[in-house]
Structure 1
């Protein structure tokens, strides 16, 4: 297929590579040092998002935040301006589910189809094609998207209509954030008590406290190994989306608000580019 891919960051580059290596023709935008490999592998660089859309049957977005997606889609030289009738837009960014519904309407009004398909699994999952993908959209649009999503992910679930994928990602980010904070508190208490945190982690791995976060991020906390991964500043962005969405839907998120404040402390200490497991540093006085 002729695919456009916009958003060539830590996650986007390996995701795009998996599509190229599966035999698809890619058009990309904003080539930088990290993404030169895509051109070397056969991708074609286009000067604008509009031109990407003109050259593509499917346009995939993997951008940092809601305003970035809005800009790329709706700017004068954006994707919507270049859409041919029937073009499918797949937004794999993590953005507001409320804004997603409006953006999908704009794409539909221009004659296109829209699927929201945010991911979980980090840079390793992007590289290995094992991402978990939460999908929102019509049955027909999702059916068109699935062969491509299968090349990038392992666990792919159609959650419901447009916006349902983003809403599910909000749930995911809430649970991950609060679990990281819980593991960080546990590791901090273990150290303060004079117990070997590595032994604590191992002992808990067979019990009810066991989790993927304890396994991976618990070890990061023990080793003080906070290279990203998934950056604190991006997870804080996601918690902002969660809090705004909860206000829109009339839900209360006191735990999420508390973790967001802790992440704000990390950002204030210039730790935003560290892995989100570095939330532990807020609790250990920044010594890790």
Structure 2
């Protein structure tokens, strides 16, 4: 793909806006679209053009459409709903590549790929890991599935928003890998909460614990990035609990299809359910710490 060709970006929330800005900073023209138009308009200061629908973006000449929305039905609507991608002129759909950065159902992804192929377009599923920090810094890990030739065409664009970009197989493979990623994430984050709970109980300085443990075998992204926020009582969302709960439902579905027990993941999922029930659904995933505070009768930040 030519670096000066415009690309569409549908869904510019916390992650999408940061990724779209990185494309703009790299000199890629971006046509932004969001359900709440104000979020798309916030990108005009960075040089983005704004339209109201995905179909308008295709009509404006975009040959690559990035999608970054919350759930499977949202992707369905962006692709096939009113004003969706396939509402554009049929001739414009031929050779179009859709890159879906959303985290959705792998089986549905394969179905979306087939439906797009029927109109001459191609889907690359490309969920990401690295949180809002990785999105802002352009260091995301991007897990891709779909047609290899289409992946090769968009890889130069992906390299402007991510650091490790891997093609894993046919459509749905990226989403399957993201499910694996979320299993590892929730287990690690629960471990961080418990480690810092013990550190608090024994009178250790939590910032020092995060620093020293991060340098050893227990180091993780969750500890290095969310550990300081837990210690400070900062639950501002980089990635919201309610979105993680959606991801864990996808994990449960995938595991159930293979009769695979995931006891640790199911336990942590129940802790997140408790966090959401206590009103933390729109807080960051590190607000899991609040469940430990209520169970243990302490505060990390005091």
Interval of TM-score (by shorter of Structure 1 and Structure 2): over 0.9
Aligned match of 1:239:
248
Instruction: Tell me how far 1:86 sits from its aligned partner.
Output: 0.6
Q: Is 1:59 paired with 2:68?
A: no
Name the stretch that deviates more: 196-205 or 248-257. Answer: 196-205
Matched residue, 2:74: 68
Are 1:208 and 2:213 matched, yes or no?
Answer: no
Match of 1:265 in 2: 274
Find the counterpart in structure 1 of residue 231 from structure 2: 222
Q: Contact between 2:41 and 2:50, CA under 8 Å: does it hold in 1?
A: no
- Corresponding position: 1:118 with 2:123: no
Give the alignment partner of residue 164 of structure 2, picking from 148, 155, 163: 155
Q: Secondary structure at the match of 1:151?
A: coil
Q: Does 1:274 align with 2:283?
A: yes
TM-score by length of 1: 0.93
Distance of aligned partners of 1:156 and 1:72 in 2 relative to their CA distance in 1, 3 Å threshold: same
Whether contact under 8 Å (2:99, 2:126) holds in the other structure is yes
- 3-state SS in 1 of match to 2:43: helix
CA distance in 1, matches of 2:24, 2:147: 26
Kept in 1: contact 2:142–2:162 (CA 8 A): yes
2:46 is aligned to 41
Q: Deviations over 1:234-277 (max 9, x none)?
A: 11111111111111233221111111111111111111122211
Name the residue aligned to 2:84. 78
Q: Distance in 2 between matches of 1:206 and 1:151?
A: 29
Residue ranges of structure 1 left out of the alignment (5+ in a row): none
Q: How large is the RMSD of aligned CA atoms in angstroms? A: 1.9
Quick check: 1:201–1:215 contact (8 Å CA) kept in 2? yes
> TM-score, length-normalised on structure 2?
0.89
Residue 139 of structure 2 corresponds to residue 130 of structure 1:
yes
Q: What does residue 179 of structure 2 align with?
A: 170
Residue of structure 2 equivalent to 1:191: 200
Separation (CA, whole Å) in 2 of partners of 1:45 and 1:198:
43
Q: Contact 1:54–1:84 (CA<8 Å) still a contact in 2?
A: no
